[in-house]
Copies of this chain bind each other. A is one copy, B any other.
Amino acid sequence: MLPFARVTIIGIGLIGSSIARAVRASMPGARLTGYDADADVRETATRIQLFDDVTDTPGASVIDADLVIFCVPVGAMGDAAAAIAEDLPADAIVSDVGSCKADVVRALTEALPGATIIPAHPVAGTENSGPESGFASLFHGRWCIVTPPEGAPDFAVARVSEFWRRLGAEVETMAPDHHDRVLAITSHLPHLIAYTIVGTASDMEEVTQSEVIKFSAGGFRDFTRIAASDPTMWRDVFLANREAVLDMLQRFSEDLSALQRAIRWGKGDELFDLFTRTRAVRRSIIDQGQDDPAPDFGRTHE
Residues of B within 8 A of A203 (CB): 251, 255
Distance between A134 CB and nearest chain B CB, rounded to angstroms: 10
Q: Find residues 123-139 in chain A having any chain B CB closer than 8 Å to their own CB.
A: 123-128, 133, 135, 137-138
Contact of A216 among B231, B275, B285 (CB under 8 A): B285
Segment from A46-54, A58-66, A261-269 that makes contact with B: A261-269
Q: Is the CB of A249 within 8 A of B255?
A: no
Tell me if A114 is interfacial: C-beta within 8 Å of chain B: no
Number of copies: 2
From known contacts A227-B278, A282-B224, infer whether A242 and B215 are also in contact, taking CB-CB under 8 Å: no
From known contacts A185-B200, A199-B278, A275-B234, infer whether A143 and B297 are also in contact, taking CB-CB under 8 Å: no
Chain A binding surface SS class: helix
Residues of B within 8 A of A123 (CB): 215, 217-218
Q: Is the CB of A249 within 8 A of B239?
A: no
Contact of A143 among B127, B192, B214 (CB under 8 A): B214
From known contacts A214-B172, A231-B272, A282-B228, infer whether A126 and B296 are also in contact, taking CB-CB under 8 Å: yes
Tell me if A95 is interfacial: C-beta within 8 Å of chain B: no
Segment from A24-32, A78-86, A149-157, A205-213 that makes contact with B: A205-213
From known contacts A222-B190, A290-B221, A297-B298, infer whether A228 and B278 are also in contact, taking CB-CB under 8 Å: yes
Contact of A281 among B213, B245, B274 (CB under 8 A): B213
Tell me if A2 is interfacial: C-beta within 8 Å of chain B: no
Residues of B within 8 A of A296 (CB): 126-127, 225, 297
Least CB separation from A289: chain B residue: B302
Q: Is the CB of A186 within 8 A of B231?
A: no
Q: Is the CB of A182 within 8 A of B196?
A: no
Q: Mark A158-200, 1 if CB is under 8 A from B, else 0.
A: 0000000000000010000000011101111111111111111
Residues of B within 8 A of A229 (CB): 275
7 additional A-B pairs beyond A195-B275, A224-B278, A253-B256, beta carbons within 8 Å, are: A145-B215, A182-B207, A196-B256, A217-B290, A217-B291, A235-B275, A297-B298
A residues whose Cβ falls under 8 Å from a Cβ of B: 75, 99, 123-128, 133, 135, 137-138, 140-143, 145, 172, 181-183, 185-204, 206-207, 209, 211-229, 231-232, 234-236, 238-239, 242, 245-246, 248-249, 251-253, 255-256, 259-260, 263-264, 266, 268, 271-272, 274-279, 281-285, 288, 290-292, 295-302
